[in-house]
Chains A and B, each alone.
Chain A
Amino acid sequence: MNRSKHICLSLHCSLHGRYHELAPHLVPMDYTNDPDVKVPLALIVNMPELKENPFRNRIVESFSEDGQGNLSFNDFVDMFSVLSEMAPRELKAIYAFKIYDFNVDNYICKEDLEKTLNRLTKEELTPEEVVLVCEKAIEEADLDGDNKLSFADFENMISRAPDFLSTFHIRI
Chain B
Amino acid sequence: MDPTDAVFSTDHRVPSSHLLLDQLPSYQSLLYRRKSSGSARRRGSGRVRQPSVISGKWLEQKTVHSGEELRPVRELPKSMEDKRQEKEQRLQQGGAPIGWGLWRLNVHRSLKRLKEDGMDLLSSLQLWRADVHLIEGMFGTGILSYFSFLRFLVLLNFIMFLLMFVFVMLPVIITSHTSLNITYSSTDVRDCSVYPSSSRQGLVVFHQHITDLLSGTGFLEQTYLFYGYYRLEFIHSAFSYNLPLAYLLTTVSYLLLSLVWIVKRSASGFKRKLIQDEDRFQSFCNKIFAGWDFCITDENAARLKRSSLLYELKMDLEEERIKQKMANRTRCERFRIYMLRAAVNLFVVAVLISCFFCIYVATVFSQQKQDEEQSNFLLELMVEYLPSIVITLANFITPLIFNLIISFEDYSPAFEIRFTLMRCVFMRLASIGVLLFSLWSQITCGSSHCSCGYNHHRYPCWETHVGQEMYKLVIFDFLIIAAVTIFIEFPRKIIVNHCDCALAKWWGQQEFAIPQNVLEIVYGQTICWIGTFYCPLLPAINTVKYFLVFYLKKVSLMTNCRPATRPFRASSSHFFFLVVLLIGLALASVPVTVSIAEIPPSRACGPFVNYTSSWMVVPRVITQLPHSLSSVLMALASEACAVSLFVITCLGMFYVIALAGAHKRVIEQLRDQLAMEGRDKRFLIQKLCQAQQGVFARSPDRGCHGNRQDAGLYFVRETKA
Name A's B-contacting residues (CB within 8 A).
Answer: 1-6, 8, 48-49, 51-55, 63, 65, 72, 74-75, 77-78, 81-83, 86-91, 94-96, 100, 105-106, 113, 116-117, 120-122, 124-125, 129, 132-133, 136-137, 139-141, 143-146, 150-152, 154, 156-164, 166-171
Q: Specify which of B26, B56, B679 is in contact with A3 (CB 8 Å cutoff).
A: B56
Name B's A-contacting residues (CB within 8 A).
Answer: 18, 21-22, 26-27, 30, 33, 36, 38-39, 41-42, 56-58, 74-75, 77, 79-81, 84, 116, 120, 133, 137, 141, 272-273, 275-276, 278-279, 281-282, 284-286, 288-299, 301-302, 306, 309-310, 313-314, 317, 320, 569-572, 671, 674-675, 677-679, 681-682
Complex contacts, B682 vs chain A, CB 8 Å: 144, 146
Q: Let me know if B309 and A157 touch, CB within 8 A.
A: no
Q: Let me know if A78 and B292 touch, CB within 8 A.
A: no
**Do A91 and B75 form a contact, CB below 8 Å, given A160-B275, A162-B272, A167-B292?**
yes
Q: Which residue of A lies closest to B136 (CB)?
A: A171
Q: Let me know if A161 and B289 touch, CB within 8 A.
A: yes
Complex CA–CA separation, A91 to B284 (angstroms): 22
Q: Let me know if A163 and B570 touch, CB within 8 A.
A: yes
Q: Specify which of B27, B284, B572 is in contact with A136 (CB 8 Å cutoff).
A: B284
Q: Let me know if A133 and B284 touch, CB within 8 A.
A: yes
Q: Specify which of B26, B27, B293 is in contact with A167 (CB 8 Å cutoff).
A: B293
Complex contacts, A154 vs chain B, CB 8 Å: 289
Q: Which residue of A lies closest to B280 (CB)?
A: A140
Complex CA–CA separation, A153 to B50 (angstroms): 36
6 tightest A-B CB contacts, nearest first? A144-B678, A74-B80, A5-B74, A162-B571, A52-B302, A164-B290
Complex contacts, A3 vs chain B, CB 8 Å: 56-58
Q: Let me know if B77 and A91 touch, CB within 8 A.
A: yes
Complex CA–CA separation, A51 to B295 (angstroms): 11
Q: Let me know if B79 and A75 touch, CB within 8 A.
A: yes
**Do A113 and B41 form a contact, CB below 8 Å, given A6-B74, A125-B310, A152-B674?**
no
Complex CA–CA separation, A3 to B295 (angstroms): 24
**Do A144 and B677 form a contact, CB below 8 Å, given A88-B42, A94-B77?**
yes
Q: Let me know if A161 and B317 touch, CB within 8 A.
A: no
Complex CA–CA separation, A121 to B308 (angstroms): 9
Q: Shortest CB–CB separation between residue A120 and chain B, in angstroms?
A: 6
Complex contacts, A143 vs chain B, CB 8 Å: 671, 674-675, 678
Q: Which residue of A lies closest to B307 (CB)?
A: A124
Q: Let me know if A157 and B80 touch, CB within 8 A.
A: no
Complex contacts, B289 vs chain A, CB 8 Å: 96, 100, 116, 154, 157-158, 161, 164
Q: Let me know if B285 and A74 touch, CB within 8 A.
A: no
Interface centre among A75, A113, A151, A166 (most CB of B within 10 A): A166
Q: Which residue of B lies closest to A166 (CB)?
A: B141
Q: Let me know if B292 and A160 touch, CB within 8 A.
A: no
**Do A145 and B275 form a contact, CB below 8 Å, given A120-B309, A166-B570?**
no
Complex CA–CA separation, A154 to B291 (angstroms): 15
Q: Specify which of B33, B77, B310, B678 is in contact with A121 (CB 8 Å cutoff).
A: B310
Q: Let me know if A137 and B288 touch, CB within 8 A.
A: yes
Complex CA–CA separation, A74 to B82 (angstroms): 11
Q: Let me know if A169 and B295 touch, CB within 8 A.
A: yes
**Do A156 and B292 form a contact, CB below 8 Å, given A74-B79, A140-B284?**
no
**A-B contacts besides A139-B281, A164-B289, 12 pairs, CB < 8 Å:** A75-B79, A78-B79, A82-B77, A116-B288, A120-B288, A124-B310, A157-B282, A161-B282, A164-B290, A166-B570, A169-B294, A170-B295
Q: Shortest CB–CB separation between residue B16 and chain A, in angstroms?
A: 10
Q: Shortest CB–CB separation between residue B98 and chain A, in angstroms?
A: 24
Q: Let me know if A90 and B286 touch, CB within 8 A.
A: no
Q: Let me know if A122 and B306 touch, CB within 8 A.
A: yes
**Do A49 and B42 form a contact, CB below 8 Å, given A121-B309, A140-B284?**
no
Q: Which residue of B lies closest to A147 (CB)?
A: B5
Complex contacts, A86 vs chain B, CB 8 Å: 41
Complex CA–CA separation, A140 to B316 (angstroms): 14
Complex CA–CA separation, A70 to B551 (angstroms): 44
Q: Specify which of B41, B286, B296, B677 is in contact with A162 (CB 8 Å cutoff).
A: B286
